[in-house]
Amino acid sequence: MPIEKAIYLDHNATTPVDPGVEKAMIRCMESFPGNPSSRYPSGVAALEELEIQRSNVAGLIGCAPSEIVFTSGGTESNNTVIKGLVDFGRPRACHIITSAVEHPAVLNPAIFLAELGVGLSVVQVDESGRVDPEAVVNEIRPETVLISIMLANNETGALQPIRDISRIASEQGVPLHADAAQAVGKIPVDVNDLGVDFLTIAGHKLYAPKGVGALFVREGRRLTPLMHGAAQEGGRRAGTESVLLATGLGEACRIARQRLGRDTPGTKDMRDHLQKLLFEGIEDLVLHGPLEERLPNTLFVSVPGIEGNRILEGIPEIQASTGAACHDRSVSLSHVLAAMRVPPEVGMGALRLTVGRTNDMDQMEAAARLLIRRIRELRSGR
């Protein structure tokens, strides 16, 4: 069922392109055909557009435009940081700290490096999915080259205590990276307030197109490029820049900055109303993640004894996820729920319901009715 005809509750998986972003990209295609590295007029115009959009991205997270590197998305941004601080000539002299609930775009590069000999510490989380900053302190070694902890979890929405971790990292002289793919555009994010050295942005999580993202690299921090080639992006990311995709991301960030004041409370009101209705109508429903310290749009719940995919299969009117979107076709317990020590008989019934700009209160009412009816049918054996 097309997104415009369904109740779309999977904004943590991806967001539709904002109409304003679409218009800006059409304007870009029509107006800036040049290569931004070329010195003739169409190239210079393309470069000027690229830098305007770099400023728009920087404005959303409170950094200097020169600290923004355009990438192909969150996965590339994460890989660039995690691999870019390791000395591949002496991998055993390097050590990385991360958490058990990170996105695979962080965990898998870290595991790859561990197989090459890099030391790896994976900090566990509490039952709400949050990291204890003291646990991070206990893992720091003289050879630690990076701490990478996500700002907000993609499944539970849990917000990590990044400010506390940044104080620890700063005291120990260890760079800190935050994967903020799920947070940017949903809550205020300021890199100086957080105290991070690197921060990941994914365009398709904030109403930009897929295939574009950005990496904040604090002035003075150096990374080995993930890709080598020419000197684009200040030598930090080789390859001719896509002015079109940069325009999509920059415009999405500009719009997000304007809308945050109403989007954040608006999505929270919808999320809370849906949560209230579901808990009133479904016996034994379980909430995963913190009650307060989570993204305002995220509701991650379980129906014990019923697989989440069985619930959603019977409600084509709702587009949602049974966990992280990357793992939707698997019936195994997500690594996030496993790290939170959720029993399999509970976690297998997980539903991730995430709201956004495409939703309204009427849809929350309709979604709750559909979910409650479907779950009652399954429990009655129909």
Provide the token pair at 148.
């990478």
Q: What is the dihedral of CA 129, 133, 137, 138, to 10 degrees?
A: -50
Tell me the C-alpha distance between 173 and 90, whole Å.
20
- Of 232, 304, 182, 179, residue with least CA distance to 35: 232
Q: Look up 63 and say whether it is catalytic.
A: no
* Three-class secondary structure of residue 175 per DSSP: coil
Provide the token pair at 24.
């800006």
* Three-class secondary structure of residue 7 per DSSP: strand
Provide the token pair at 13.
């998986």
Identify the residue whose tokens are 């890099």: 118
Identify the residue whose tokens are 């998305």: 73
b/e code 259-277 from CB counts within 10 Å (16+ = b):
ebeebbebbbebbeebbeb
Tell me the C-alpha distance between 349 and 311, whole Å.
8
State the DSSP string of 291-353. Answer: SSSB-TTEEEEE-TTS-HHHHHHT-TTEE-BSS-GGGTT--SPPHHHHHTT--HHHHTTEEEE
Helix axes 19-31, 243-281, angle to 10 degrees: 170
Provide the token pair at 216.
């904040």
Q: CB neighbours (10 Å) of residue 345?
A: 12
Q: Active-site positions?
A: 326
